[in-house]
Each structure stands twice: as C-alpha cells, then as structure tokens.
Structure 1
C-alpha cells in the first residue's frame, strides 16, 4: 500500500509466479508469501525463489517486508531470510527497520515501541504463534542470524540522509551486515529511504517503503504522484473473516457487534470434534440478513492458551485457518465477492482458497490496509487483507464505504 500511495503502479501477486507471468505496466511488484511461521529452511527457499523471480523481471531493488511488530522467534524467520537474500544479492549491507509511525510503531535506540509501550510490554507478548518478550531488536535479530547486527541510532537519523549514509559506510567498514535503524516519524523513514537508494536489499515493515519511490522519481524512472483513482467492486455479498487474536482485532469485533453486526464465534475445540464445520458456518453467513456478517475465532490470551494446551499451538491455528479458508471458498460459489480478512495467516489461507493469483492495489482504508481487487478473473473479488494489529477500532464498520 505504501508504494501505491507514493505513486508507483503496484501489483501484488500471491506466491512466486511462473516465468511467463505478465506484470503489465507495474512499477512495483509485491510477491505475497506465507513465510512468517513456517520452518526457517522453507521460508529461506521460498524467499530466494521470489527474489530470483523479481530479479529476472528486472527488479532493481528487493524489499523483504515483514510485520511492523517484528514478530518472529529465535528460530526465525526474519534473520535467516535476510541472511539468505544478502548472499543471493551479494550485498555488503542491509537494514532492518519495522517502524510504522502512522500505526504507532517506532524504533528508538534499537528498541521497538507500540504506541508508548515497549513491544515486550504490549499485547504482542501474548501472540499465540510469535510471542515477543524482548523489545531490543538488535538482540532479537542477532539470535536469528550468524551475521553481525548493528544499530544506526536516532543521533544519526535525526541529521538526515547524509548522516545515515555515512553510518552505512561505517558499518560496512566495520564488518557489520545488518543494521537496525531508528525511526520515530515519517520524515525519518523518508530520509532512511533516500540514504538507501543504492542498497540492493532493504528489510522492514510497510513504512520502510515510504521513501523509496522518490528515489526512482528523481532518477526519471517513474512519473509524478497522481490523485487516488476510482475503485469499484463487483456486485455481490460481503463477509468479514477474522482469525487474528490481536487486541486490535478484538476491539474491532467488539465495536462492530455493538453496532449490531451479527457475529459467529468459532471455537477450535468444536472444529476439532467436527461439531463446527465449514458447511455449517457458510450456511450461517448465507442466511444472515446483515450486509457484512462476521465470522471470528478471536479470543483473549487466556482462552487461546487453554485451547493451545489441548490442541497444540500450530494445530489450533491451522484448524481455524483451514476452516475460514474453506468457508470463503464456499461463499465465493454463492455470490460473495467482497471479503474483509483479519490476520496474516488467515489472509494467506483465504486468498489461496479463493484461487486469487494477483491483486490490484486500491484505496487505503486505514494506514497500511488497502482494498484490493483480484486480477484476471471474469468476476473480480474485492479483498481487504488486514494484519491483526492494524486498523482503527471502527475498521470493520467503515471499510465498506471505500468501495463502490
């Protein structure tokens, strides 16, 4: 979304496309990979394949995007994928900057803040798959890689792109390979982007792309920014599918329910016993008399822990993802063309079930979350794919006003 908002024609492709895939007139291509929680070796394999495909298509710069909460585990996958891409690109240095100030993510002295709270004190400490109990990103990343990790601190960043570039050169001379970079506001991100104009590999959250398009614009490779374009969706019914257990998503569900949006809660224990099925859930959605009913598995941390104890952490998540994906596939066959999905893993599973291979980026609902429209289908599907932590509390209510 950041690239599109900054004026680059952007297409998002699901997975690694074949060699003959037509990217059209895209100036930026996003390959969406479900690699956050898979084994690190698999994440490395798929990420290297994606980078090679982009390089073959003429990419001049590779961005490895991950969540702005940097959520990962000591086993990966951010460090391992970064290390593999550095080797593939034969790059001397890269950065790691998950800052997204518009959504309250800031990095200061190498520590990641969520609003005014250290990451380790935020609800991310209770994430069911990637609990984050350390806000020191240098320390977190160093556990995941054998490469030396350093820091470009606020002292350099506040001085602007020249000082940041000097810090990069000093890091290379000192043998460091990955630099956490402080950023407190959008101007910092733009200055970091300018300093990284010649960097082969950049890693970070969505915000790190803020300063990149201007580099290509200064070089005459893309045109001037244009006003937001019209965006319409195919006529059809709508549904909200929420697999995220983040505090933000739970607040969004609560506010929608207070506005009398009907909601069906999915209990993974009942799914495992076969009491709740994709067929029964899809039937509930289809018989709802509300334009945007909600199906959700979101629960507070204590409830999630109890379920994981009985089913296992990975199995509990997979049960929900698979169920919601199958529900989406069934609804597509019944004239549902508008899907709002909360949760990264859930979004990946739903997109796959819908058979969507590429998406046109549309208008932004909230910072970092756009509507998108499937490409290459007779009846395009409108999709809003939301990271669990993103979006204002009224996100589920206002999203629909952004499409026609």
Structure 2
C-alpha cells in the first residue's frame, strides 16, 4: 500500500484522484482515521491534514502521527508527502520542517520531489517553478494573503526552511533516463532534497518509474500520479463509482481569481446567492444563522444556492485591515462550517466547497471521517462518497473551469 500525507484537504483530494485515475483503489481520510478503524479494500490511503499554515511544531506533530498510523496499517512500500503545486509556504515552513521530521523518522537520507503538475499549469525547469508562462514569484501567488511566494527557485525556498541542502535533477537528465544516477551523485555530495524537473506528464511518468522503490517521496499531485502509474494493479481503466445525487449547495470561501470567476458565473446564471459579511457581523454563529434563515426562505425550484465569502482583492484587504488576516479568516471559516452543518441537517446531500481552508472547515464541521474517491467533476476535483450519507466536492481555489460550480450543482 501507498500512504500519502497531504497538508490541506483539497490537496488531499487532488492526490487521491491522481492515484485513482491510474487504477489504484483509493481511500481518503480527513484527519487521522478514528481509533480502531480499518479502511475498506484499497491500494492507497490518503490522510488529509490541515497543516499548511498552522504553527510548524503543530504541523510536524500531526504529520508524524499520520505517518505512524500509515506505517501501522501497511504503508510499508512508500509514503508520499503532498504539498501544493505552488509550493505554498513561508520562510519558516511548513514544507521544510515536515519533510525534515518525516525523513528523520523514516531514516531516509535523500528525498526526491517536484511540485510540477502540468495539467494545472505548474511546471519545473532547472529548479525554477512556473505558474503558466510566468515564474512563481511573478504570478498571482506573489500576493497570496497567507503564503506570499516572491521567489521561484525551489532549492533556495526549501533551504530557507530546512537545515539540509537541496539540489536539482534537470530536464535533460530526466529525459535521458538518468534520474537514479543523478540522485546517487547528489546523495554522495550530502544533498538531502532533490527537485526533479518536469514540463509534461511524460516526464512525471519517467520519474515515477525511477522513484517507485523510494520509501519517501514528496510533491504535488503530478508526481503522485506518476508513482501510482508505476504501482498500478488495475487493468482496463478506472473502477466504477456511483453518481452523486440529491439537493446541492455551494459554499465558497476562496478569494482566488478562478473561484471569483466561478462565483460570478453562478450569480450571472441566476442562482440564489448570499454573501457572508464579516464586517457587518463578527460573530460566526450569527453569520451562519442569517445564511440558513435565508436558505429556508428560498422558493422551490430556484436551483442550488451559493453561500460565499469570496472577495475581490481590494475588498479583501479592507476586511483584513479592519479585523486582521487571521481573525477575519477564522470568522468566515467557522461560519461556513456551521452553514454546511445546517444545510446537511436540512437535507442537502451534495455539498460543494471552493477553497482549501473553506473545505477544511466544512469537513471538520460535518464530522466526516473520510470516504471513497469517486468520479471527477473536473480534472483533479473528485466527488467523495462519505459513510455519512452525503457526497462532497472539495475544490482548490484555483481549480476548474469558470462553470465548474454551476455545473457540479445542477
């Protein structure tokens, strides 16, 4: 079995579906699995944590607990640490501290990785990370409110967070099938972390084969897919999955440009929409009650509603200046979680969440232990069929075409 540890909930679904797409039966847990639980029949287990932006000591502790669970339940072949394809982190962590702890715990001298995910427009060349056609440090991630990325050279970014040296396997070495040789050379020179170039999915397939025997690997969903292809047991395509059904609702908290587009498409299509305003009401419970009261007044046949806190950059800065970044985010996440719980109590069976932090709040509020990965509503955005009787679609802020939220909630 392959065991994966993801640093946020939407990233976990992304890596889980990358494994499922290659034919691996994949189970996803939100947080550590309940004590005494045993996963259904599977080839891969993904544990979704919410450690990307919490204090690094807490991130390390939670990641090590996940590692212990995975190893106790059969993840002897390989462990995969999944981080975002834009390498979201601060100068202090949390990618470096978590990697250091996992590698030390597993006694692994060298860890290969890449955030490259070509299908999402993320590629690595000569150790530099690109978002579309621009360097990471020149992309929209430069102004991220929690993890602003102002540098694009991955070894330098990681060395600022870790006591160990980092190196690069170049694209020429990947395409020359010299990955293993280069890794051995770097290990001899005292390098612990190695970023492997990839511009296309075929590059990730090559690296996946070269790293199939590695005990600890890290990166985004792209490399996870390459590894899964190397390990795949299933033949003849994806395993079947039921279609989600029943009343739907959309909750959006991400302020990414793509989520703002998706919110606008829903509103322009005439879907009922309600915005949570933390400046007007700073009590999460009160905000949630207002949204649910609005939902209760909706006439039949209006279509799946949208409840959102997503804001354009200028409006977002105004809220953050008035309340503080952490406080404003906390108010809205708690409110959206309470709204999700109220919607399910009212019979909603399809909950669609936009944004990593929002999705974490929703899953926590609903008490969902995990589920089986189903079909994708968009590339890298799968339905998750929970044992609680409802299905979840957890969308990372930047994922999906503009019409995703509208189509998924029809």
TM-score bracket, shorter-length normalisation: over 0.9
Deviations 1:366-404 (A, max 9, x none): 2211111102x3xx1110001111111111122246xxx
The separation in 2 between residues aligned to 1:311 and 1:29, in whole angstroms, is 39
The answer as to 2:262 corresponding to 1:246 is: no
Deviations 1:248-270 (A, max 9, x none): 11111112222222222222212
Write out aligned runs for 1:313-352 (5 A).
313-352=325-364
Distance 1:209 1:224 in 2: 19
Partner of 2:296: 286
Provide the residue aligned with 2:8 in structure 1.
none
Q: TM-score, normalised by structure 1?
A: 0.93
Give the Cα separation in 2 of the matches to 1:138 and 1:306.
35
Task: Report the more deviating stretch, 387-396 or 301-310.
Answer: 301-310
Which digits, 9 at most, give the CA deviation of each residue in 1:259-315, with x for residues without a partner?
222222222212316796211111222333432211111112222222112211111
- 2:275 matches 1:265: yes
User: Per the alignment, do residues 286 and 171 of structure 1 end up closer, same or farther by CA in structure 2, a change over 3 Å counting?
Assistant: farther
- 2: distance between equivalents of 1:273 and 1:326? 12
In 1: Cα distance, 2:291 partner to 2:176 partner: 55
Q: CA RMSD in A?
A: 1.6
Which of 365, 381, 402 lines up with 2:377 in the alignment?
Answer: 365
Question: How many positions carry a matched residue from both structures?
Answer: 391
Provide the C-alpha distance between the structure 1 equivalents of 2:222 and 2:267, rounded to a whole number of angstroms.
Answer: 31
**TM norm structure 2:** 0.92
Match of 1:271, SS state, is: coil
Aligned-partner SS, 1:155: helix
Q: Distance in 2 between matches of 1:288 and 1:207?
A: 41
Unaligned runs of 5+ in 1: none
CA apart distance, 1:225: 4.5
Moved more, 18-27 or 47-56: 18-27
* 1:25 lines up with 2:34 in the alignment: no
Q: How far 1:359 moved relative to its partner?
A: 1.2
Does residue 64 (structure 1) correspond to residue 74 (structure 2)? The answer is: no
Q: What is the CA–CA distance in structure 2 between the aligned matches of 1:340 and 1:381, rounded to whole Å?
A: 11
Per-residue deviation, residues 314-354 of structure 1 (Å, max 9, x unmatched): 11111110000001111111101111101111101101111
Residue 255 (structure 1) aligned to one of 254, 262, 265? 265
- Counterpart contact for 2:252–2:306, Cα < 8 Å: yes
**Contact 1:271–1:319 under 8 Å retained in 2:** no
Rounded Cα–Cα distance in structure 1 between residues aligned with 2:304 and 2:186: 51
Residue 277 of structure 1 aligns to a residue whose secondary structure is helix
| Runs (4+) off by over 4 Å | 273-276
The answer for the alignment partner of 1:89 in structure 2 is 106
Unaligned runs of 5+ in 2: 1-16
